[in-house]
Amino acid sequence: MDRVIIFDTTLRDGEQAAGGSLNIKEKLDIAKQLEKLGVDVIEAGFPISSPGDFEAVKLIVQEVRNPIICGLARANPKDIDRAWEAIKEAAHPRIHVFVSSSDIHLMHGMKKSREEILQLAGDMVARAKSYTDDIEFSPMDASRTELAYLYQILEVTIDAGATTVNIPDTVGYAIPDEFGRLIKGIFQNVPNIDKAVVSVHCHNDLGLAVANSLEAVKQGVRQVECTINGIGERAGNASLEEIVMTIKTRGDLFKLTTNIDTRQIYRTSRLVSELTGFSVQSNKAIVGANAFRHESGIHQDGVIKMPITFEIIDPKTIGIPASSLVLGKLSGRHALRERLAELGYSLNEEDFNRVFQAFKQLADKKKEVTDRDIESLVAEEQRTVSEVYHLDRLQVSCGDRGIPTASVVLISPDGQALADAALGTGPVDATFKAIDKIVGVPNVLAEFSIKSITEGIDAIGEVLVRIESDDITYTGRGADTDIIIASAKAYINALNRLLAARRGTR
Ligand code: MN
C-alpha cells in the first residue's frame, strides 16, 4: 500500500483543547469541510463524554457520507455501546477503543494489573466488533509502555478483531529516531501485525509531533492521526497540513500519496481557526500569515524572477487565492459573488444579500476590501443569524478626564428594544457592564483579545471573548471597524451561545 490514511481528530482531540467550545452547527460545518478536504477518517467526537458530543456525532453521521466516521470509547461496555449508538447510521462507521497500557498509567490511573488490562482490551475490542467490522484500538501512553507488554496487547486486540492499531505518543515524550525504533519493533515482534493498519497519534509537547509521525511513516505506518492547525490537548497534535505537505513536497523521498485535496487546506485552516477561536501563529508552517511572505530583498528578487528559488510550495497548491484583486466601493454583486466562490463560500441568496449589504457599508469606510475583510464579513453575518440578543445601538464616552460611560440598546428575543447604561474602568468594561444589566446572566470573563485583520488605520478590528459559566467556556467573536462595537458584538455573541446552550441547543 502506497497511500497514507489521514485520520483527522480536530473535532475530538482538537475540540478537547483548553478553551475550545464548538456548538453542534460549527462541528457540522467543520466536518463538511473536512470531507471536501478529502480526509479518510473523521473522529467526530467522544459520544459518552456529553449529550452535546453525542448529538454532534449523530448529526455528522447523517450529513457527511464519504469519509469513515469514528466515535471514541474507553474500554468499557457503556462507552462502546454509546459510541455505536451515535455512529450506527454512518455510511462507514468505526469504533475507536482505547485503554492505558503504560505502568505509570496502570498504577496511578487505572489501578489495574497488566493481566486485567490485557483481558479487558481483548474483550472490549470483541464487543465493538460485534457491532461493526471497522475497529481501531489504541494503547494509551504507548511510547512509555514496556515493549514486551505493548507487543502482547497489540497481538491480543488484533486477534479480537481490531483492524487498525494506533500507537499514541500521548504525552509528547518521544524523539523521532527512538519513536521510529518503537514502530520498527512492533512490525518485527507482533506476529499478526500484517492483519491491521498501523497508525500513530503524536502530541507536540516537545514540538516533535510532525517529525515523530513522519518517522513512523518511514517505518511503515500507514495511518496518521492529526488535526487542522495542529490544535489539541496541551501543546496540540501533529498538524495535518504539515504532514500532508511534507509527504507531497518530498515525494522524492517518501514515495507515498494521500487522498487530500491540498487546495482545500487554506480554507479549512481558516474555518477551524475562525470557529474555534484558536488563531494561527504568523510563522506557522504552511498556513501562517507569513508562510509565503518574502521580506529580504534578495529573496524577493529571486521569487519575482523564478518562484522556485525561495519557495518550495506554490501557494496555489494549498488554495491561497491566486489573484490579489481587491474589491472596493464600485464593485458590484457579481464581483463579490465571484470572489466569495474563489474563497470557497457557497452562500444562499438570503445570506449573500446580507453579506453584500455589509460589504457596501464597509467599502464606504474603507478604500480597499481584501479577502480577509470578506472572510470577516461572512463570519460576522453567520454569527448574527440565530442570535438571542442583537446589538442595536452603542454609545461610549471615555478619556482621561471623564468617567468611561456606555449606553446600550439591545433587541430582545421578542423584538423589544431594551436600553441601559453603566460606568466602567474603561470603555469596554462600561460596555460589558451595560450589556450585563440587560442580559443578566452571571459569568466570568476569561479572555479578551483584539487584533487588526489587515494592515492600515481603517482595518477591521476582530475581538475574541471567552466567558465562563458553570465551568463551561463560551467563545464569542465580533468584527467591526470600530473596536468598541466589535467588543460589544463579541461579548453578545458569547452570551448568545451561553443562552442557546442553556436552552439545550448547544
Ligand atoms: Mn491525543
Query: 346 and 245 in one domain?
Result: no
Query: 161 and 19 in one domain?
Result: yes
Query: 398 and 370 in one domain?
Result: no
C-alpha cell belonging to residue 153: 496487547
User: 449 CA distance to ligand 1 centroid (A)?
Assistant: 27
Within-domain flag for 210: yes
> How far does CA 216 lie from the centroid of its chain?
24
Residue 429 CB neighbours (<10 A): 17
The whole-number pLDDT of residue 297 equals 80
The last residue of one of the domains, among 276, 306, 336, is: 276
Within-domain flag for 359: yes
C-alpha cell belonging to residue 441: 446572566
Q: What is the pLDDT of residues 394-425, one digit of tens each?
A: 999 999 888 999 999 999 989 999 999 999 99
User: 13 CA distance to ligand 1 centroid (A)?
Assistant: 5
User: 105 CA distance to ligand 1 centroid (A)?
Assistant: 15
Q: Exposed, middle or buried: residue 444 (CB in 10 Å: 0-12, 13-18, 19+)?
A: exposed
**33-42, 88-97, 471-480 — which is least confidently predicted?**
471-480
The whole-number pLDDT of residue 214 equals 98
Q: Could you give the CA distance from residue 158 to residue 202 in angstroms, rounded to a whole number?
A: 21
Within-domain flag for 105: yes
Name the pTM for this structure.
0.87
User: 203 CA distance to ligand 1 centroid (A)?
Assistant: 6
Residue 322 pLDDT exceeds 80: no
Query: 25 and 64 in one domain?
Result: yes
**Number of domain units in the chain:** 3
Residue 122 domain boundaries: 5-276
Q: What is the pLDDT of residues 126-166, one digit of tens each?
A: 999 999 999 999 999 999 999 999 999 999 999 999 999 99
Within-domain flag for 460: yes
Within-domain flag for 285: no
The whole-number pLDDT of residue 110 equals 82
Give the range with max mean pLDDT: 186-190, 288-292, 459-463: 186-190
Q: Which pLDDT band, with edges at 50, 70 and 90, does 324 fall under? A: low
The last residue of one of the domains, among 336, 367, 383, is: 383
Mean pLDDT of 352-377: 90
The whole-number pLDDT of residue 210 equals 98
Query: 179 and 71 in one domain?
Result: yes
Query: 211 and 144 in one domain?
Result: yes
Q: Return mean pLDDT, the chain.
A: 92
User: 210 CA distance to ligand 1 centroid (A)?
Assistant: 13
Q: Could you give the CA distance from residue 170 to residue 167 in angstroms, rounded to a whole number?
A: 9
Q: Looking at residue 409, which CATH number applies to its domain?
A: 3.30.160.270
Query: 351 and 419 in one domain?
Result: no
% of the chain at pLDDT higher than 70: 98
Query: 435 and 366 in one domain?
Result: no
Query: 395 and 364 in one domain?
Result: no
* Bridging pattern class, strands 223-226 and 472-480: unpaired
Within-domain flag for 283: no
CA angle 67, 73, 76 (to 5 degrees): 150
C-alpha cell belonging to residue 183: 514502530
Residue 301 pLDDT exceeds 90: no
Q: What is the pLDDT of residues 204-255, one digit of tens each?
A: 999 999 999 999 999 999 999 999 999 999 999 999 999 999 999 999 999 9
User: 201 CA distance to ligand 1 centroid (A)?
Assistant: 7
The whole-number pLDDT of residue 466 equals 93
Query: 412 and 267 in one domain?
Result: no
The last residue of one of the domains, among 383, 399, 423, is: 383
User: 174 CA distance to ligand 1 centroid (A)?
Assistant: 14
User: 206 CA distance to ligand 1 centroid (A)?
Assistant: 14
> How far does CA 413 lie from the centroid of its chain?
30
Residue 505 pLDDT exceeds 70: no
Q: Looking at residue 73, which CATH number applies to its domain?
A: 3.20.20.70
% of the chain at pLDDT higher than 90: 73
Q: What is the pLDDT of residues 422-435, one digit of tens each?
A: 999 999 999 999 99
User: 415 CA distance to ligand 1 centroid (A)?
Assistant: 45
User: 289 CA distance to ligand 1 centroid (A)?
Assistant: 26
User: 305 CA distance to ligand 1 centroid (A)?
Assistant: 44
